[in-house]
Amino acid sequence: MTAASPHRTLIVDFYKRGLSTGDISKRLGVHRNTVFATIRRFNQLGHLKDRTGRGRPRTVRTPAKIKAVREKVRRNAHRTMKKMSDDMNISYTSMRRIVRKELKMTSYRATKAAILSQANKEKRLIKAKRLLAGTRKKDHLITIFSDEKLFSVEAEFNSQNHRVLATNIQQAADRGKTIHRASHPASIMVFGAVCYDGKCPLVFVEKGVKINQKYYVEEILEKHVLPWAQNHFGQKKYIFQQDGAPAHTAKNGSKVVQGPLPRLHTKGRMAGFVA
């Protein structure tokens, strides 16, 4: 049962005080038939709430349909509500109500994640604990984080959100409906490094150059990162962190370099300059 409407409550209240149907109608500004029907209903039921079973009975959100939808979701949780509504010949709105209100389910967007072996998980856990312990010593304030990124020069395009408003398909084509893409778009590799209070100038790798261990050490680290780090930190201790790319983890990657840093370490994900 639902709660009584405000008019219904006032009509019955005035009726109990002894006011006539005409007086109640004038005071509330409602039709006399409404006042009369409300009073008669109150005398029959003895309360102000709606009758049980009020409203049109359900024809779609039935227990059988709810059970069928639950079974479809159990067999394939990746099936969309639009697909299920088409398969069961019911409206998308009704399907959404069944999923959300009856089954108490929410549609979550799928995300990507790397497949990790048990060994990788254990290594990452160890690394996370080391990083957390390092924050207590404020190591994160003296750490240089670095990485490379390949940028492709092509038009931004999202098939789900990229729309063109037009009156017909020809007009849509004229307004840029088709996004042309080359098989091998122009691209450039960029190296960057940042720390708590500074950033190394970006290093743009020349076209066609393969970043191997020799190029990474001599052309990026020694020519750009090391001079910037020495100028930025001076004689202070700092840590250089890099990922596990082959050029970073080559076995012959350790070498003696000039300056306040005694060695250039390139072994492991936590490897790097350590003053």
pLDDT tens-digit map of 199-247:
999 999 988 888 888 899 889 999 999 999 999 998 888 888 888 788 8
Q: What average pLDDT does range 171-189 have in this prediction?
A: 79
Rounded Cα distance between 108 and 124, Å, is: 27
Q: What average pLDDT does range 169-189 have in this prediction?
A: 79
The half-sphere exposure of 203 on its side-chain side, counting CA atoms within 13 A, is 24
Q: How many CB atoms lie within 10 A of CB 57?
A: 6
pLDDT tens-digit map of 87-113:
999 999 999 999 999 999 988 877 888
Res. 178: pLDDT tops 70 = yes
Report the range of poorest mean pLDDT among 159-173, 194-208, 249-263.
249-263
pLDDT tens-digit map of 108-149:
877 888 888 999 999 989 989 988 888 888 888 999 999 999
Q: From 3.90.1200.10, 3.30.420.10, 3.40.50.300, 1.10.3720.10, which CATH number describes the 118-179+187-266 domain?
A: 3.30.420.10
Report the range of poorest mean pLDDT among 32-41, 142-151, 180-189, 256-265.
256-265
Q: What average pLDDT does range 161-167 have in this prediction?
A: 74
- Residue 34 CB contacts under 8 Å (≥ 6 apart), including other chains: 7, 11, 25
The values of phi and psi at residue 204, to 5°, are: -95, 120
What are the sequence ranges of the domains in the chain? 7-45, 63-102, 118-179+187-266
Res. 51: pLDDT tops 50 = yes
What pLDDT was estimated at residue 1?
Answer: 44
Confirm if 191 and 220 have CB atoms less than 8 A apart: yes
**CATH T-level fold of 7-45:** Arc Repressor Mutant, subunit A (1.10.10)
Confirm if 191 and 205 have CB atoms less than 8 A apart: yes
pTM of the model: 0.50
What pLDDT was estimated at residue 167?
Answer: 81
E strand or H helix at 188, and its extent? Answer: strand 187-195
Res. 251: pLDDT tops 70 = no
Give 248 or 155, the one with higher predicted confidence: 248
E strand or H helix at 145, and its extent? Answer: strand 143-152
